[in-house]
């Protein structure tokens, strides 16, 4: 009898654990009803497109037209290889048939239109900091770009990393849902830079080390990390590394790719500069102002 009770108890506990897991990992969505009427600003959408470096990952590899966002770039990681999706305006293979609410959901909740968790190789942990207006403007701008046909292959991830449902638990730990909050003790320029760096720019996603679960180590933001393409590393951009750089030096590098010692950035950073060069001088200077203010140990209150 006692043995039977143990078996029954074990089954009940397992069933409750399964139910709890299922409830805790339900993908969240943003309903269309919460989106107030909005007139898209395509010029601002273009700024967000360049600030976010969308073309760096989503443009079809090895072609000059960076507005052809057919995806296919392979991104290596300790968890397997991710293949960047088609986000062109194509209605079948891209996001042309997505609703605005579905796009906002992907950006801030990391949930696909089919109700599945998106892998955080898509940096929604940073995009959640963006304002709804900027996200909606970006969506409107993306729809003006060329439609590119072609499905992208599935990610190549081994078990258990290929189980999307487990990402619900990951999000409970690392997706806080808080938008960017300006620091009233800082200047408008600093706050603009902090927003561009931490939200659309998602700079910490590459320039920070990660823990065993693949999340950014919050107290080491911007202190460097492994290169997304698996080639070398991404440098520390706090004052521990850039203490001899001026704001102008940083802004110039974001404009031309040339560093103060007359060298040029390479690898994925060259793609970043290709995008930041399209921003206004004021925005690049704001980004440089924020970077120059990063403490030597890393971390940033505005990028939590």
Do 195 and 269 lie in a common domain? yes
13 domain-assigned: no
80 domain-assigned: yes
Which residue is listed with tokens 């993306």? 142
Question: Do the beta carbons of residue 44 and residue 136 sit within 8 Å?
Answer: no
Compute the distance between CA of residue 120 and CA of residue 129 in angstroms, rounded to an integer.
Answer: 15
22 domain-assigned: no
Compute the distance between CA of residue 66 and CA of residue 145 in angstroms, rounded to an integer.
Answer: 10
Which residue is listed with tokens 């996200």? 135
Q: What is the pLDDT of residues 141-171, one digit of tens each?
A: 999 999 999 999 999 999 999 999 999 999 9
> Is 285 a residue whose pLDDT tops 90?
yes
For the four alpha carbons of 49, 52, 58 and 64, in that order, the dihedral sign comes to positive
Compute the distance between CA of residue 171 and CA of residue 111 in angstroms, rounded to an integer.
Answer: 11
21 domain-assigned: no
Do 205 and 166 lie in a common domain? no
18 domain-assigned: no
Do 65 and 164 lie in a common domain? yes
> Is 118 a residue whose pLDDT tops 60?
yes
Which of 4-13, 48-57, 95-104, 166-175 shows the lowest per-residue confidence on average (mean pLDDT)?
4-13
Compute the distance between CA of residue 193 and CA of residue 150 in angstroms, rounded to an integer.
Answer: 36
Question: Do the beta carbons of residue 145 and residue 88 sit within 8 Å?
Answer: yes
Do 52 and 137 lie in a common domain? yes
DSSP string, 10-55: HHHHHHHHHHHHHHHTPPP---GGGS------HHHHHHHHHHTTHH
- Residue 2's H or E segment, with its range, is helix 2-24
> Domain of 36?
32-174
> Is 14 a residue whose pLDDT tops 70?
no
Backbone angles phi, psi at 41, to 5 degrees: -105, 100
Q: What is the pLDDT of residues 56-80, one digit of tens each?
A: 999 999 888 999 999 999 998 889 9
Integer CA distances (angstroms), 5 to 98, 254, 261, 264, in order: 51, 67, 74, 70
Do 138 and 228 lie in a common domain? no
Domain of 259: which CATH number? 1.10.760
Select the more confidently predicted residue: 230 or 215. 215
282 domain-assigned: yes
Domain count, the chain: 2
User: Structure pTM?
Assistant: 0.91
Percent of the chain with pLDDT over 70: 88
Q: What is the pLDDT of residue 164?
A: 94
226 domain-assigned: yes
> Is 286 a residue whose pLDDT tops 90?
yes
Do 170 and 192 lie in a common domain? no
> Is 51 a residue whose pLDDT tops 70?
yes
Question: Do the beta carbons of residue 272 and residue 194 sit within 8 Å?
Answer: no
> Is 302 a residue whose pLDDT tops 60?
no
Question: Do the beta carbons of residue 125 and residue 174 sit within 8 Å?
Answer: yes
Q: What is the pLDDT of residue 62?
A: 87
> Is 125 a residue whose pLDDT tops 50?
yes
Q: Which of 140, 174, 208 is the last residue of a domain?
A: 174
Token pair recorded at residue 88: 């062109």
Do 130 and 232 lie in a common domain? no
Q: Which of 145, 174, 203 is the last residue of a domain?
A: 174
Do 283 and 250 lie in a common domain? yes
Which residue is listed with tokens 């999706």? 85
Do 144 and 97 lie in a common domain? yes
Do 150 and 193 lie in a common domain? no
DSSP string, 175-198: ---PPP---TTS-HHHHHHHHHHH
65 domain-assigned: yes
Q: How many CA atoms lie within 13 A of 241 on its CB side?
A: 13
Token pair recorded at residue 134: 């900027």
Compute the distance between CA of residue 201 and CA of residue 105 in angstroms, rounded to an integer.
Answer: 18
Do 144 and 223 lie in a common domain? no
| End-to-end CA separation in angstroms for the chain | 53
Compute the distance between CA of residue 201 and CA of residue 222 in angstroms, rounded to an integer.
Answer: 13
Which residue is listed with tokens 């030597």? 296
Number of residues in the chain = 304
Do 161 and 196 lie in a common domain? no
Compute the distance between CA of residue 56 and CA of residue 272 in angstroms, rounded to an integer.
Answer: 7
């Amino acid at each position: 009898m006692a043995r039977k009770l143990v078996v029954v108890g074990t089954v009940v506990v397992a069933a409750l654990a399964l139910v709890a897991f299922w409830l805790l990992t339900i993908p969240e969505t943003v309903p269309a009803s919460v989106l107030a009427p909005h007139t898209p600003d395509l010029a601002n959408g273009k700024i967000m497109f360049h600030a976010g470096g969308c073309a760096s990952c989503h443009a079809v590899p090895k072609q000059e037209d960076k507005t052809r966002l057919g995806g296919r770039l392979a991104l290596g990681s300790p968890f397997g290889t991710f293949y960047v999706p088609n986000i062109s305006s194509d209605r079948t293979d891209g996001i042309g048939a997505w609703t605005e609410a579905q796009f906002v959901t992907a950006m801030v909740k990391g949930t696909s239109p089919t109700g599945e968790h998106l892998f955080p190789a898509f940096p929604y942990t940073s995009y959640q900091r963006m304002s709804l207006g900027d996200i909606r403007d970006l969506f409107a701008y993306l729809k003006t770009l060329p439609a590119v046909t072609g499905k992208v292959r599935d990610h190549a991830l081994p078990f258990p990393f290929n189980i999307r449902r487990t990402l619900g638990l990951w999000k409970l730990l690392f997706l806080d849902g808080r938008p960017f909050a300006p620091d009233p003790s800082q200047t408008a320029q600093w706050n603009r830079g902090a927003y561009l760096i931490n939200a659309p720019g998602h700079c910490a996603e590459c320039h920070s080390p990660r823990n065993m679960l693949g999340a950014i180590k919050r107290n080491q933001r911007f202190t460097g990390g492994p290169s997304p393409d698996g080639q070398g590393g991404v440098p520390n951009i706090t004052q521990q590394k850039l203490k001899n750089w001026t704001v102008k030096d940083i802004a110039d590098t974001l404009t031309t790719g040339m560093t103060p010692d007359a060298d040029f950035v390479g690898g994925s950073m060259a793609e970043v500069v290709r995008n930041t060069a399209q921003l206004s001088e004021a925005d690049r200077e704001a980004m440089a102002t924020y970077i120059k203010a990063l403490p030597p140990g890393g971390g940033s209150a505005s990028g939590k």
